Amino acid sequence: MSFNLGHDRPLDVAPGVVGVSERELPPLPDEALASPEARERLRVDPRAWFPRPEQPFEIEVGCGKGSFALEQSRAYPDVNLLAIEWAGEFFAYTADRIRRAVRPNVRVLHADAVEFLRWRVPGAIAGVIHLYFSDPWPKTRHHKRRVVQDRFLFEAWRVLVPGGELRIVTDHDEYWSWMETYFSRWTDTTNGTGNGEALVGRTGAPFERRAFTPAAWVTEGSLVGTNYERKMCGEEKRPHAVTLVKRA
């Protein structure tokens, strides 16, 4: 299988490839809807896309122009990172940056990250899922498009290994208030019907809430070191951030 940027010419870089087009994934047949068991048999393990699939594995949801993926992969060469981006131009731009920098521990996927997690990714394979400055979709009629909802939190919980982290940052105050409603449902078992405990069918809150700690390579005053953070937040506005840890 040759992965590419959605163009006719494959994008190759030793010792592997960089861009993965959703079109190159196996088709999702109707039986995927039939039962959870059928869906499990049809999943695709993205760890196999890396030259060293045995390394720890992380996912970035919405990589934008790839600044975080580039720096994270440089700082942690022994960790594989799958950066997922829906916007075609940003996907192509990021894949080209990764190719030029020769980062064999990064793959860039052109796909809807939420749907990819739901339908494609096996359970308990990722140590960290990064979600930084996702689109707040501020208009009420667009709120259904926001990433942080019960469905995403369930899939993140499923895909993470026990003790794995869902790391979230946003600079949008109203979106953060929206997120907080869901965080309480997934980290607190006292607020009744419809909480995360009921949604995953287990005893105890699915996640433990912890403070967000920036990676060691991030400069002082920043949380994730992305272009967006530098441009939109600067020194005056501190973004909201949280780490949700999957309970063992």
Mean pLDDT of the chain: 86
Catalytic residue among 96, 112, 135, 150: 135
Helices (H), 78-194: 88-101, 113-119, 150-159, 173-187
- 10 in Cβ contact with 27 (< 8 Å): no
The pLDDT value recorded for residue 198 is 80
Q: Over the stretch 186-197, which tens digit does the pLDDT of each residue have?
A: 997 565 445 777
Sequence-distant (≥ 6) Cβ neighbours of residue 66 within 8 angstroms: 83, 90, 93, 94, 95, 97, 98, 108
112 is catalytic: no
% residues pLDDT > 90 (the chain): 65
Domains in the chain with CATH codes: 12-246 (3.40.50.150)
What's the pLDDT tens digit per position in 41-95?
Answer: 788 999 999 999 999 999 999 999 999 999 999 999 999 999 999 999 999 999 9
Q: Which of residues 99 and 38 earns the better pLDDT score?
A: 99
- pTM here is 0.88
pLDDT in tens, 205-242: 999 999 999 998 888 878 887 777 777 676 667 889 99
How far apart (Å, rounded) are the C-alpha atoms in residues 153 and 120?
A: 16
